[in-house]
């Protein structure tokens, strides 16, 4: 009897359930429904810490292909606090190891992004059999070409930009669509290109407000009464980027007193300099929700079944990833703590520039 634990950690996304379904179906095929027991931990690592779990059956995985979110629930357990005792003095790492061993698990499958995989690697180094599966709408996880949830989030954000296009053109307005992504601009870049944004602002390319205004006015001279900006929530001005960490923190705290986010500050600056009507749209957590698209359903199914196969081989301590369209294994120790960001000089940036897209830097 194989005993497998699963948990979903960090922010939710559209294909978590599909991935768990892939793992389960793969295991049931390899071992038979009677040859494997799957234990789902509730609300991520918290369930593992506090022994909050439920035994899952084949019935629990039925019908999940088109269900977003996670049937196990999720929570954020910051890696930087993982070694600190909880409010009752509980050693979190020792508690997770105890639960794993008390349940006599053969493997723990962790579905999560950067922070979650750092904890997965820690548990692997502590002697547990762990397999990671790459989840995040930000696509910023090292070692994999893409993460599940990313393509579905692109589709959602692109749909928002598509809808904004009609009202922007009808009223000759400037619209800023704020897309998720604090440290990496993959989602904003792809949604912006797919949605036909005129300006794309991402964390990797600090913007200059003068360059943004120049692009807006240039479009106006060419007879385009509207402009659409796709703005990553982590977009940063050139002035802020040049500050040291301490001064930047102070400047951001000051901005938060005046504006809800960077998009509202940019909107105010454009209005002040051009006198034009500027609006901000923030789709927010819509980008995480809804039904996973076809691409993510296939990717998640492939990743999940490969995890089952690696369990059957006893091959642990790895992230199941996709590279060059092939499913591969990458050691957790190689990817933990590494962030995959957009290369400002990469091909996709140059191709976007050839489309006439401005990144607010020139």
Place of tokens 């194989």: 2
Which 3 state secondary structure label does DSSP give 26? helix
Assign residue 172 a region (left: φ > 0; alpha: ψ between -120 and 50; beta: otherwise): left
CA–CA dist 252, 181 (Å, integer):
16
- The token duo for 286 is 């819509």
DSSP 207: B
CB 52 within 8 A of CB 42: yes
Other CB atoms within a 10 A radius of the CB of residue 207 amount to: 27
CA–CA dist 12, 9 (Å, integer):
8
CA–CA dist 34, 40 (Å, integer):
17
- Enumerate residues 6+ apart whose C-beta is below 8 A from 153: 13, 14, 137, 180, 187, 191, 287, 288
- The token duo for 88 is 């009752």
Is 138 among the catalytic positions? Answer: yes
Catalytic residue among 138, 140, 198, 296: 138
CA–CA dist 10, 170 (Å, integer):
40
- The token duo for 277 is 């009507």
- The token duo for 167 is 């009202």
CB 8 within 8 A of CB 111: yes
DSSP 141: B
- Enumerate residues 6+ apart whose C-beta is below 8 A from 115: 9, 10, 76, 77, 78, 79
Q: Residue length, the chain?
A: 362
Other CB atoms within a 10 A radius of the CB of residue 223 amount to: 6
- Enumerate residues 6+ apart whose C-beta is below 8 A from 220: none
Q: Which residues are catalytic?
A: 138
């Amino acid at each position: 009897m194989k005993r497998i634990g699963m948990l979903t950690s960090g922010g939710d996304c559209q294909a978590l359930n599909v991935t768990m379904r892939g793992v389960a179906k793969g295991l049931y095929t390899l071992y038979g429904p009677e040859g494997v027991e799957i234990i789902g931990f509730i609300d991520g690592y918290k369930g593992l810490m506090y022994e909050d779990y439920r035994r899952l059956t084949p019935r629990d995985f039925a019908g999940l292909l088109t269900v977003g979110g996670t049937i196990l629930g999720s929570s954020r357990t910051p890696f930087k606090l993982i070694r600190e005792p909880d409010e009752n003095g509980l050693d979190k790492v020792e508690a997770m190891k105890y639960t794993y061993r008390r349940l006599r698990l053969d493997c723990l499958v962790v579905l999560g992004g950067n922070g979650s995989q750092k904890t997965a690697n820690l548990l692997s180094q502590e002697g547990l059999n762990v397999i990671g599966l790459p989840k995040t709408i930000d696509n910023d996880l090292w070692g994999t070409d893409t993460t599940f949830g990313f393509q579905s989030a692109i589709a959602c954000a692109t749909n928002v930009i598509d809808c904004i296009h009609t009202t922007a053109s009808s009223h000759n307005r400037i619209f800023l669509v704020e897309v998720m992504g604090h440290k990496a601009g993959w989602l904003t870049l792809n949604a912006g290109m797919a949605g036909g944004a005129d300006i794309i602002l991402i964390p990797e390319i600090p913007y200059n407000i003068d360059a943004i205004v120049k692009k807006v006015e240039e479009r106006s001279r060419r007879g385009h009464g509207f402009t659409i900006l796709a703005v990553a929530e982590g977009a940063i001005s050139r002035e802020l980027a040049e500050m040291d960490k301490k001064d930047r923190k102070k400047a951001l705290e000051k901005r938060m007193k005046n504006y809800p986010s960077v998009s509202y500050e940019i909107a105010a600056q454009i209005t002040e300099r051009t006198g034009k009507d500027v609006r901000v749209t923030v789709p927010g957590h819509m980008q995480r929700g809804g039904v996973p698209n076809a691409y993510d359903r296939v990717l998640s199914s492939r990743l999940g079944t490969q995890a089952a196969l690696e369990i059957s081989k006893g091959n642990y301590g790895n992230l199941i990833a996709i590279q060059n369209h092939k499913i591969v294994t990458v050691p957790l120790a190689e990817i933990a703590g590494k962030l995959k960001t957009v290369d400002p000089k990469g091909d996709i940036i140059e191709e976007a520039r050839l489309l006439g897209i401005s990144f607010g830097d020139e």
